[in-house]
Amino acid sequence: MPIRREFHLTDGATRSGCPGCADCPGACAGISVGGAEDLIAELELHLGVPDRGDSMADRTKRLLGRMKMRGDPIFKGIHLAAGRKMHPPIVRHLLAGLESSGTRVVSSPRPWDAAPVAVSPPSRNDGRYGGSRLCIAKLFELGPRLRLLNPFREDDPALGKALHAFFAAIDLSSPPSASLVLAHSLLDAYGVEHIASPESLVEAAQRLHGLIQRQWPESEIWRELPLRMRSGGPILQGIADMIVASPNGFHLIEHKTFPGRKDLCMKRAVAAGPQLLAYAEILVRVTGKPCRTLYVHFPFPGIIVKLKQPDGRDSWSEVRGAWGVG
């Protein structure tokens, strides 16, 4: 079933009968837009921002700046036909900017938008995934530590959201100036421009891309991919930060904003193992292709950690008895 990604913009007038808007936050204005380009054009029209024919990232940056200057809601609400995680990063940043100015954003509940089901991760000796937790296989140095401008609280997700959005949206075939504009707009949209610099995000993305090109030159990169599977037990689902699809199988990469020492990063990498194993479970069972490696990427310390099973294997051609499935 195709995922509907359109929006219905709502105002305070009487409902105009827009289809599927039973959950709209207020009366529907009858405006339906179908993606990032349409939403940008609609916002430019309402805010009086001219389209100069430049990139979507530049247009987004101007719109976010105008929203901050305006201060009052542009629309009463926006109704999403699919959850916001199903939309591209630029759309999510624009939605965040609209919310900060008072626009209410809601989405209709649909099967693929369900909140992840809480599944207890396997304990150290419960016999699943080889009978123990994952171990460190190798630590790769990507480059010098990237300096943070200011400390941040780990329980504040804003920097992590900005970082994940940047890694999902960046196009490294574009000029470096476009990448810097994208990084600046995202850091600003999430209110963390005082914590990390645009240059640090671009450098982190270039380092990771360089590693991928060296390790798997004939590969395709999937970013922010929703994964979901039910197979006689708990639902396995989540959003994989990055999947490298190479001719011989998949390679999973999870991004972490933790900026600490390398020894602490390795502990965090092991703790992320159950999450990555759940994603590997879905990929192996749904595609029939092996999941070759699992990685946890720490951009600010400048490292990426490769995980392995306790018996030394670092490839998963099948996953037996995982998470109560099979």
Domain residue ranges of the chain, discontinuous segments joined by +: 7-113, 129-153+198-324
pLDDT higher than threshold 70 for residue 273: yes
What pLDDT, on a 0 to 100 scale, did the predictor assign at position 61? 84
pLDDT category at 316 given cuts 50, 70, 90 is: low
What pLDDT, on a 0 to 100 scale, did the predictor assign at position 3? 33
Looking up tokens 């005082």, which residue turns up? 194
Q: What is the pLDDT of residues 35-55, one digit of tens each?
A: 677 778 878 887 888 877 778
Compute the distance between CA of residue 323 and CA of residue 236 in angstroms, rounded to an integer. Answer: 8
Higher pLDDT, 69 or 166: 166
Q: Is 153 left (phi over 0), alpha (psi -120 to 50) or beta?
A: beta
The token duo for 256 is 């972490």
Compute the distance between CA of residue 292 and CA of residue 316 in angstroms, rounded to an integer. Answer: 6
65 close to 71: Cβ distance less than 8 angstroms: no
Residue range 91-116: average pLDDT? 64
What pLDDT, on a 0 to 100 scale, did the predictor assign at position 198? 96
Q: What is the pLDDT of residues 297-310, one digit of tens each?
A: 999 999 999 998 87
pLDDT higher than threshold 80 for residue 16: no
Residue range 14-23: average pLDDT? 43
Q: What is the pLDDT of residues 218-250, one digit of tens each?
A: 899 999 888 887 766 667 778 899 999 998 899
